[in-house]
A and B are shown apart, each in its own frame.
Chain A
Amino acid sequence: MLKILRPINANPSDPDLLLELRAYRERMESEIEQARQLQLVLLPNKGKLEALEASHQLAVSNFFQPATTLAGDSWDIWPLDERHIAFYMSDFTGHGVGSAIQSFRLNTLIAHASAYYFQPSELLGHLNHTLKRLLPAETFCTFFYGILDVEQGQLAYASAGAPCPYLFIHREQRCEALQDGGIPLGIVAENNYVTCYIAITQGDTLCLYSDALVESPSVNAPHISEHGLQEKLARIMQDASVTGQRLFMRALLKKLHALDGMQYEDDLTVTLITQL
């Protein structure tokens, strides 16, 4: 057994104890780094996004910044068939190791829920039912799930307490807030989720984000309300000098100070999806 787990009256200048402490710290850092790499592998990589962009005429960009080395935020996007893509964004309470483990668990649950992929409200109901059984009382998950039909130009979606996503409607040059939905996943056994529909046409951009963007207090940046985010997003999208989705993302994050080296107090995820 390590000396650090022995009686608390151990001599703090004991060289053996210091060596053991250093070895323990290094092992913990190494294990957390391995977990971080596993988590990053689960997120969509550049190759996956480029393949989707080519097959479904979309532009997708993402910014992901854990508050610590491991995050409770997660997201994914994948093709359902030649005209539908599915995507989700999730956020477990807290951050760090505990939330990351829940996030791994959710990833597995979604991977085994393909029977519900075409019914957003039913997917949320299924996940809620399972998480209610598995999660401790103080843990829950906010979740947004959408299916984009690129041929029909329609987004079907359902939300479980997720921050309100925005759709920038290109032809009207304005941002529309998508209706918020039901209770976050894992709190109550009853399902109250509803599938909503909205038209999406060429040039429209959907902005999904975790609550850190509008909720995390920071000494380095002013608090931004959801309404403030909606206004900033519309202004950037309307700016004719900003072309290309990756530049939109860059401009948005700069406007929100996320590129100023600011470390948010919660995990931060922002995803933009544009129909080309």
Chain B
Amino acid sequence: MDHRIEKTNHAHTVILRGHFTFADNQLFRQLMNQLIEQKPKKVVFDFEHVTYIDSAALGMLLLLKERLEESSIGLVLARPKDHVAKMFNISKFETLFAIET
């Protein structure tokens, strides 16, 4: 998975691209620590270009949610499509996260 970060005064937007899986574990943890250090008010993860997500990656998002909440940083999961939207739906992520379509 590739990613880039766009920063504004209101939020940091992490734009993800490709397959988000267990293989991204280390990269994701580094990214999470980096975001916590920078302390933006809100973090938006943009899934528009993510074509596949596995259960391990869903777990990473749950960890992210917990860590950001501890640092009082807001989290939004934005624009999940097709397979990602389905996985969010099966796992009832709409009851756990703020999801913007």
Chain A interface (Cβ < 8 Å from any Cβ of B): 91-95, 136-140, 142, 161, 163, 180, 182-184, 187-188, 192, 211, 215, 217, 265-266
- Chain B residue with the shortest CB-CB distance to A210: B55
Residues in chain A near residue B7, CB distance under 8 A: none
Q: Is the CB of A94 within 8 A of B59?
A: yes
Q: Is the CB of B19 within 8 A of A137?
A: no
Q: Is the CB of B55 within 8 A of A211?
A: yes
- Chain B residue with the shortest CB-CB distance to A211: B55
17 contacts between A and B (CB under 8 A): A93-B55, A136-B63, A137-B59, A138-B59, A138-B62, A140-B62, A140-B91, A142-B90, A142-B91, A161-B91, A183-B91, A183-B95, A183-B96, A184-B92, A187-B96, A215-B54, A217-B52
- Chain B residue with the shortest CB-CB distance to A139: B59
Known interface pairs A161-B90, A183-B95, A184-B91; A138-B60 also in contact (CB < 8 Å): yes
Residues in chain B near residue A187, CB distance under 8 A: 62, 96
Nearest first, the 4 A-B pairs at minimum CB distance are A138-B59, A138-B63, A93-B59, A94-B56
CB distance from B62 to the nearest CB of A (A): 5
Contact of B1 with A by CB under 8 A = no
Q: How far is the CA of A137 from the CA of B65 in the complex (A)?
A: 9
Known interface pairs A215-B54, A217-B52; A94-B22 also in contact (CB < 8 Å): yes
Q: How far is the CA of A182 from the CA of B67 in the complex (A)?
A: 24
Residue in contact with B90 in the complex, picked from A180, A217, A265, CB distance below 8 Å? A180
CB distance from B49 to the nearest CB of A (A): 16
CB distance from A37 to the nearest CB of B (A): 25
Q: How far is the CA of A137 from the CA of B96 in the complex (A)?
A: 13
Query: Which residues from 55 to 81 on chain B have a C-beta closer than 8 Å to any C-beta of chain A?
Result: 55-56, 58-60, 62-63, 65-67
Q: How far is the CA of A266 from the CA of B59 in the complex (A)?
A: 15
Q: How far is the CA of A142 from the CA of B59 in the complex (A)?
A: 12
Q: How far is the CA of A92 from the CA of B22 in the complex (A)?
A: 13
Q: Is the CB of A140 within 8 A of B90?
A: no
Query: Which residues from 35 to 64 on chain B have a C-beta closer than 8 Å to any C-beta of chain A?
Result: 52, 54-56, 58-60, 62-63
Q: How far is the CA of A140 from the CA of B92 in the complex (A)?
A: 12
Residues in chain A near residue B56, CB distance under 8 A: 93-94, 138
Residues in chain A near residue B59, CB distance under 8 A: 93-94, 137-140
Residues in chain B near residue A136, CB distance under 8 A: 63
Apart from the given pairs A93-B59, A183-B91, A265-B54, 20 other A-B contacts in the complex at a CB distance below 8 Å: A92-B55, A94-B56, A136-B63, A137-B66, A137-B67, A138-B56, A138-B59, A138-B60, A138-B63, A140-B91, A161-B90, A183-B95, A184-B92, A187-B96, A188-B96, A192-B95, A211-B90, A215-B54, A215-B87, A217-B52
- Chain B residue with the shortest CB-CB distance to A226: B86
- Chain B residue with the shortest CB-CB distance to A141: B55
Q: Is the CB of B60 within 8 A of A217?
A: no
Known interface pairs A188-B96, A217-B19; A163-B90 also in contact (CB < 8 Å): yes
Q: How far is the CA of A212 from the CA of B87 in the complex (A)?
A: 12
CB distance from A268 to the nearest CB of B (A): 13
CB distance from A89 to the nearest CB of B (A): 14
CB distance from A27 to the nearest CB of B (A): 25
Q: How far is the CA of A95 from the CA of B23 in the complex (A)?
A: 12
- Chain B residue with the shortest CB-CB distance to A160: B92
Q: How far is the CA of A153 from the CA of B96 in the complex (A)?
A: 36
Q: Is the CB of A266 within 8 A of B92?
A: no
CB distance from B10 to the nearest CB of A (A): 26
Q: Is the CB of A266 within 8 A of B91?
A: no
CB distance from A15 to the nearest CB of B (A): 33
